[in-house]
Amino acid sequence: MSKDVPPSKAPGSAGSSLAALNDWVAQVAALTRPDRIHWCDGSDAENQALIEQMLADGTLEALNEQTHPGSYLHRSHPDDVARVEHLTFVCTTQREDAGPNNHWMAPHEAHAKMDALFDGCMRGRTLYVIPYCMGPIDSPLSRCGVEITDSPYVVANMRIMTRMGAAALARIEREGTERAARGERSDTFVRGLHSIGELDPERRFIVHFPEELSIQSFGSGYGGNALLGKKCHALRIASHQARSEGWLAEHMLILGIENPQGETHYVAAAFPSACGKTNLAMLIPPQGYRDAGWKVWTVGDDICWMRPGADGRLYAINPEAGFFGVAPGTSTKSNPNALATIQKNTIFTNVGVTADGQPWWEGLDNGQTPVTDWRGNAYDAAKGPAAHPNSRFTVSARQCPSYSPKAEDAQGVPISAIVFGGRRASLVPLVFEARDWTHGVLVGAAMGSETTAAATGAVGVMRRDPMAMKPFCGYNFADYFSHWLSFDGADAKLPKIFHVNWFRKGDDGKFLWPGFGDNLRVLEWMIGRVEGQAGAVETPIGYLPAAEDLNLDGVTLSDEARAKLFGFDHAGWSAEFDSIGGYLDEYGPRMPQALKDEQQRIAAALAR
């Protein structure tokens, strides 16, 4: 930890391009009054020193070095285990710009509130300055930020999740110099200020200032609230940037599907948290598909930035460098690639531990038994699960067996299909295709899902979650839908849009579709539709496959499963579209008329 420097001087900042960064760090230090300031360079030596510090003070606990080398356990405060949407605010000058989909606070009020919380909060602590790049370090689609934090746990996680350190700082300096030479504002990096504070739920706020490209988070150490490059920057702030710059920042996985002929199609898919994004991103094809030569490549499991290319197609990058995945349910059956990824160099948060120091969670099914639960107490099944339902792993994406060689391509990968999906026990079939881009935007806007443990509040409640962006869109959803519609230009070659539902249940309450690797059967049909080869049946809600349009070799489906997975409930969908119409009306006059017209067209077709 030898790079302690005065707050007025960033390493390598001989010129003036980092003057704004130096000034900001100095202002934050004057407010928070840390004992020390450390500029992070992202080196192995720095990381090792931080880990040794956290092992010494109990922030981390070493796990079994033989079974999980280089891996550690972190236990967060029991009241700090998930995103806190009710304490997360978007602070725009005009309230309507934040929209009804966000909690709003006036910028001046938010700054006053946060300044009071940050006042003196880092006494006795080290202030860490973390320069980072979201996306490949040399990609024009990438964007940079700097997070200031007093949490070494955040530093260690940001090193995994972003391109952090000296290379990012150099890019910030280079871009600032280039902008200054063009007479533009030079300090366009995103500024994130974080402190764990006292971990008091009554003094916990996460506020975003999209117009200032800044984020402030106080009182939480949980990843979604503290790793500011993730949801805060890569979605809430980036969605605002994307709207003004002509691209899309989305809560989507990116995967490549390579057929036996060696052709690869890339798919971006949006699902709410804990609804199978990581499982799909790391899918292993069924044996028959593997034998035939099918392969699946993982580009990203959570966030996707897409921009139109010169050829009119959308090109995507994964702005993240790691996975911050949900541990419970991850097993050799559900996601063997994820399990293989986290066997080394992984930070586990809020999982159980076995007698020999291995991480454990419900659904792991490895024959082990936990002795300690996520709170650090002796495990007692009668008192709750060993792992918190939202326990996590943080690991480098490069360790994934299916990691795509294209994941670091500066230009991104071309997207053939966009998939929306939610957790719906009834009504919604296995898969359907939107007729066109406008219909597809409506499909995404109307997406519904049952809530999961990734956010505080009740679990299992159905709510509309447009594009899986309800907790993450940094501005008014009505304007966001208009932005999506704007991509349908004369020269555009846009992806086809689909909706899937892996979670349809039968009368007995059990899932009707086997899911996991068998989801490739649905993706193969989508690619067939993209290539104009697969069959479908036209319905008012879109194009549905018949059961025979999918390769179901080796899959046994009951008559009920076939009827519900591939069927169309006319009366149920009529009621659904009435509900969708009411939902769109909630956004008032900003809701694009084209989307309302599309809803009314389908509702009228359903009424016939």
Chain segment 388-424, per-residue pLDDT in tens: 999 999 999 999 999 999 999 999 999 999 999 999 9
Q: Grade residue 140 by pLDDT with cuts at 50, 70 and 90.
A: very high
- The topology under which CATH files domain 323-399 is Phosphoenolpyruvate Carboxykinase; domain 2 (2.170.8)
What pLDDT does residue 186 have?
A: 80
Pairing status of strand 205-209 against strand 88-90: parallel
Q: Given a cut of 90, is residue 151 above it in pLDDT?
A: yes
Residues annotated within the binding site for GTP are: 274-279, 392, 423, 516-519
Q: Grade residue 185 by pLDDT with cuts at 50, 70 and 90.
A: confident
306: CB partners within 8 A, 6+ apart = 247, 248, 250, 268, 314, 315, 316, 412, 415
pTM: 0.95
- Domain ranges for the chain: 19-64+79-246, 250-320+405-607, 323-399
CATH of domain 250-320+405-607: 3.90.228.20
- Residue 86 amino acid letter: H
What pLDDT does residue 65 have?
A: 98
CA distances from 241 to 19, 104, 232, 248 (A): 23, 18, 12, 9
d(C-alpha 257, C-alpha 414), whole Å: 12
Residue from 207, 211, 180, 178 nearest 192 by CA: 207
Cβ pair 438, 488 in contact under 8 A: yes
CA distances from 339 to 30, 116, 162, 334, 366 (A): 44, 43, 21, 9, 11
What pLDDT does residue 11 have?
A: 63
Torsion of CA 432, 435, 439, 445, to 10 degrees: 20
Summarised one tens digit per residue, pLDDT across range 474-521 is: 999 999 999 999 999 999 999 999 999 999 999 999 999 999 999 999
Residues annotated within the binding site for Mn(2+) are: 231, 251, 302
Summarised one tens digit per residue, pLDDT across range 322-346 is: 999 999 999 998 899 999 999 999 9
d(C-alpha 421, C-alpha 217), whole Å: 30
Q: Given a cut of 50, is residue 524 above it in pLDDT?
A: yes
Residues annotated within the binding site for substrate are: 83, 222-224, 273, 390-392
Q: Cite the active site residues.
A: 275
* CATH-assigned architecture of domain 19-64+79-246: 3-Layer(aba) Sandwich (3.40)
Q: What is the mean pLDDT of the chain?
A: 94
Q: Grade residue 453 by pLDDT with cuts at 50, 70 and 90.
A: low
What pLDDT does residue 268 have?
A: 98
- Residue 366 amino acid letter: N
d(C-alpha 353, C-alpha 470), whole Å: 34
What pLDDT does residue 455 have?
A: 58
Q: Grade residue 219 by pLDDT with cuts at 50, 70 and 90.
A: very high
Q: What are phi and psi of 246, to 5 degrees?
A: 85, 35
Q: Given a cut of 70, is residue 6 above it in pLDDT?
A: no
Q: Grade residue 272 by pLDDT with cuts at 50, 70 and 90.
A: confident
Summarised one tens digit per residue, pLDDT across range 21-70 is: 999 999 999 999 999 999 999 999 999 999 999 999 999 999 999 999 99
Element (H, E) at 149: strand 143-149
d(C-alpha 400, C-alpha 390), whole Å: 21
Q: 306 in helix, strand or coil? A: strand
d(C-alpha 248, C-alpha 238), whole Å: 8
Calculate mean pLDDT across residues 114-136.
Answer: 98
11: CB partners within 8 A, 6+ apart = 3, 5, 39, 41, 166, 169
Cβ pair 404, 282 in contact under 8 A: no
Q: Return the higher-pLDDT residue of 178 and 234.
A: 234
Q: Given a cut of 50, is residue 548 above it in pLDDT?
A: yes
Q: Grade residue 275 by pLDDT with cuts at 50, 70 and 90.
A: confident
Task: Find the radius of gyration of the CA atoms of the chain.
Answer: 24
Residues annotated within the binding site are: 83, 222-224, 231, 251, 273-279, 302, 390-392, 423, 516-519
Element (H, E) at 127: strand 126-134
d(C-alpha 364, C-alpha 268), whole Å: 27
